[in-house]
Chain A
Amino acid sequence: MKKLYSNKLVILSLVLPGVLLFVFAILAPICLSVYYGFTNYTGMGSFDFIGFDNYKTLLHDQAFWTSLRNSLFLAIGFICVQHPLALIVAAVLDKLGGKGENFFRCVYFIPNVISVAVIAYLWKFIYNPDFGLLNNIIKFFGGKGDINWFNYDTAIWAVLIVLVWHGFGWGMLIYYTGIKNIDPVLYEAVAIDGATPVQTFLRVTLPLMKPVIQVNVTMAVISALKQMETVYLLTNGGPNNSTQFAANYLYQQAFKAYKYGYGNAIGVIFIIICLLATVILNKIFEERDVWDVKKKKTRRAAS
């Protein structure tokens, strides 16, 4: 068997499908995207090489910057609202036990099982100013109930609530799985030491969940940047680009405005931002690792 794995032909045949997939499905499209980003290609017919013109236009494109700002809001919403809540709910679920645990785990995960199209239309009706659920609730409690939730100034918050709510179950499930993997002996030990539930969560659960948090937060930031389908179905970036997101804007420019070259330029910037976000997040977690090790060393030296 060992000999088999040292045979270069076998190694090549095992690695080749993966390499080919990577080259043709990921690397080549990215290279083509970079190339088309320097052209005025409409998606049909011939095109000219126009240098950095697309990128210069992009610098002054208000809608593009709004879409990036919205992606940033969403990432913040994920990190500051969705994930802390998901982690706390996962920790509480873990302690709940029995049928209640299973029931709530399923309930929280339901939005992730429902199709994005259904979710978008469901919320469209909830938010509708004329017959929507929210305004009817306000009317029931004696209010006027004529709020236009998707108006230019508040539409982005209405969209963010849907996105944060929709992704909640997924984040919670990953945290829940992470918590389940923590050795129960540790909980017993802190219980003997007389730790309160809050102390147990902060001193045992949270530190041991760090790798899970790292993966989850990185995935959340990337998904915030890549957000498209829910927004496309909910508002399609409107009114007047107030709920525009980068991926949706890229789609509109490339496929609706027939500015394929410009769409590719957006795509290139988009890839760079995604890569940067990943590198920065990894650095932040790395620095914390180094910092933790240093702190431990200092403590040991002191004792």
Chain B
Amino acid sequence: MKNKKLFKTLLVTALTASTILTGCGSGGGSSDATSKSSSGGSSGTVTLKLFSNLPDRKTGQGLVEQKLIDEYMEANKNVKIEVEALDEEAYKTKFKAYSMEGMPDVVSIWGQPAFLDEVVDAGVLAELDQSDYTDYKFVEGSLDGYTYDGKLYGLPRNTDVQCIFYNEKMFKDNNWEVPSTYDELIALAGKIKDAGIIPMAMDGGDGWPMAVYLSDVLYKLVGSDYQNVVSNAVKNGDFTDANIKKATELLKEAADAGLFQNGYDSQDYGTAMNLFTNGQAAMFYMGSWESSMALNPDIPDDVKNNIRAFTMPVVEGGKASATDILAWNGGGYAVSANSKVKDEAIKFFNFMYQPDKLSKYGWENNVGMSAQDQSEYMTGEETELMKQIVDILNNSTNVSGTPVNDCGPSAFKTSIESEIQGVSNGSSSVDGFLKAIGDACK
């Protein structure tokens, strides 16, 4: 009897204790997290949290970012920078969760309406002082995407130029010429196909590269009117503009002519790129950030050493010239509005953007062009491909700005990147496509 009573008491005590301890455990965890993110403390250390969309810390831009972090911590012994890095899609999902529970101190952002509109509306980003950056050598117009109502909310990391990469040796061996008009590009597709080679590798499964292709053709059609045409269409939810329709038809014409590989509308980035780097495709439609292909040890030498680039050729009757190019400033960084260590966060942020930091290291590591003037860092030993892309940008007479898919709200971006697969493969009509993407803006 006594034993039973003792057992009962012990059981109840154990259960109650476990419940209380569980509560204490989680409470302890959160208080620990709070102390980490706040400044000060007895030791005087400051912990900064950096939320990044560059999970690869060993190569490319992730490596550059990590170098800057290490350098900053070395120079500021009292600062500890914690990095959380996720790839783009997971990053954007978690970014949203953070916007509700509290943003990390420095974050990756995209200076495009499809991402930034909702984020700025939610008031999670700190306003920056424009006058701080007058000596930072930002390329003219590169801050536009990050500016809302005259207020600056972030800074761009890259300048992206849309390229058609091609295998120069393959072109020479087969007597193919780099096309100078859109019609020549379509005719070239036929010749390459006849030789049993895929004309152009396209990442159609993701949708956005095809939306960029549409933007490229539209820009060639309307020239400097591009931003007006697109912003009016997005604002009114009406994409029936004759030029947008023509651009869509030209995209469909290219798909029908077999410019892209069989099944392009379900193949991803890696698969499309492999077709090109394995020598199965003669061209690859992608942004200048892939110029590092020319240094990639995994690509066979006969392909790697022969990768060159050209931009979308002119469209007959279009207003843009051959040197008017589709280029924009995409990814960048911002500081959280509610950061408890805002001063230190801005200090680190400004450190990254000093002209001899992000921009210089980026150039040295062949991660493409930054949004700042990099001419003084050119050594002359860059790859032919890199030099060619720099020439394309330096010789450009006009640049377009943001591609169509990133010019509207996220719902529009999701819609166009899915619907464009349908219009190019013929499962939906051009008019149906234009109506669907217009409706997504409303």
Contact = CB atoms under 8 A, between A and B. Distances in A.
Interface of A: 1, 3-4, 7, 9-10, 13-14, 16-17, 42-45, 63, 124, 128-131, 146, 148-153, 155, 235-242, 252-253, 255-259
Contact of A152 (B89, B268, B422): B422
28 contacts: A3-B4, A7-B8, A13-B12, A13-B16, A17-B19, A42-B410, A44-B96, A44-B99, A45-B118, A130-B261, A130-B262, A130-B280, A149-B263, A152-B427, A153-B427, A155-B266, A235-B205, A235-B266, A238-B266, A239-B204, A239-B425, A240-B425, A241-B418, A242-B427, A256-B414, A257-B410, A257-B414, A258-B118
B11 interface: yes
Q: Which of B266, B411, B427 has the most CB of A within 10 A?
A: B266
Give the 9 A-B CB pairs with smallest separation, nearest first: A240-B422, A45-B122, A150-B266, A44-B122, A257-B414, A148-B263, A258-B410, A239-B265, A152-B427
A292 B124 CA distance: 64
Contact of A128 (B122, B267, B411, B426): B267
Give chain B's interface secondary structure class.
Answer: helix
Contacts of A256: 89, 92, 410, 413-414
A6 B36 CA distance: 47
A236 B205 contact: yes
B263 A129 contact: yes
Given A44-B118, A239-B421, A148 B262 contact: yes
B427 to A, nearest CB: 4
Contact of A4 (B7, B89, B419, B428): B7
Nearest to A60: B439
Interface in B405-429: 409-411, 413-415, 418-419, 421-422, 425-428
B278 to A, nearest CB: 9
Which one of A1, A16, A242, A253 has the greatest number of beta carbons of chain B within 10 Å? A242
Interface in B424-442: 425-428
Contacts of B271: 124, 128
Nearest to A16: B19
Contacts of A148: 262-263, 266
Given A13-B16, A44-B122, A240 B428 contact: yes
Nearest to A13: B15
Contact of B96 (A10, A43, A153): A43
Interface in B265-324: 265-268, 271, 275, 280
